[in-house]
Amino acid sequence: MTKLAAGRDVSIYTISKAVREDLGYKSFTLRVIHLLTEKQKDARVARGKDMLNFIKSSSSPSLRFFSDEKLFNLDRTHNRQNTRWICKDPEDVSMVFKYKNPASVMVLGVISSDGDINQEVYLEVLRDVVVPWMYKVAKGRRYTFQQHSAPGHKAKRVQAWVLGAVPHFWKSQE
């Protein structure tokens, strides 16, 4: 509305009033939505229920570790406060899509310039850094090691190594 007011050499209040009262429009921000299929939603719900049941069970260790990376993605950026749409219905507002695999850089104690941590790199970091650190922190207590379903984590070689290296391992497929 600031641009409209400046372009017409009138007060922003005049433009705001005309848009609101005369046209019946409101100012809305872009809507951000996740692109999830029904299959993905169902899988998340099922996995969440399984994990809650595991955590509630008496055989579940109280100490847990979770491996993850920080993903810095290069998706389209927008400023929710400044990127506005003037319309009557919020459904008319353009959407900003979030993609499951945008161009990105991933960080897990190291930075990968092409955004991937493959099974070799992940296994090396687990073997040399993560598992020794977990043993040190656990101090002999029982613990669970959990990882998500990134391709490097799901690799059979990584899964087999972790099964032999840690006392209780929650596999990414469980």
- Number of structural domains in the chain: 2
pTM of the model: 0.42
Range of the domain at 164: 52-69+117-174
**103 with 23, same domain?**
yes
Tell me the two tokens of residue 119: 């099974």
pLDDT tens-digit map of 112-160: 445 567 888 888 988 998 889 888 888 888 888 877 777 777 888 888 8
Which residue's entry shows tokens 């499951």?
Answer: 100
Whether residue 124 sits in one domain with residue 174: yes
Domain contains 11: yes
28/85 same-domain check: yes
Angstrom distance (rounded) from CA 126 to CA 130 = 5
Q: Write out pLDDT tens, residues 3-34.
A: 888 889 999 899 889 988 999 988 888 888 88
Cα-trace Rg, the chain = 24
Residue 147 CB neighbours (<10 A): 22
Residue 12 lies in a domain: yes
pLDDT tens track for 39-82:
989 998 998 898 888 888 877 676 666 666 677 777 777 777 77
pLDDT of 42 = 94
Note whether residue 158 is domain-resident: yes
Residue 157 lies inside a defined structural domain of this protein: yes
* 108 pLDDT more than 60: no
Bridge partners of 6?
none
CA distance 78 to 104: 17
Asked if 57 and 103 sit in the same domain, the reply is no
Mean pLDDT within 86-110: 74
Residues 47 and 42: their CA atoms lie apart, in Å, by: 9
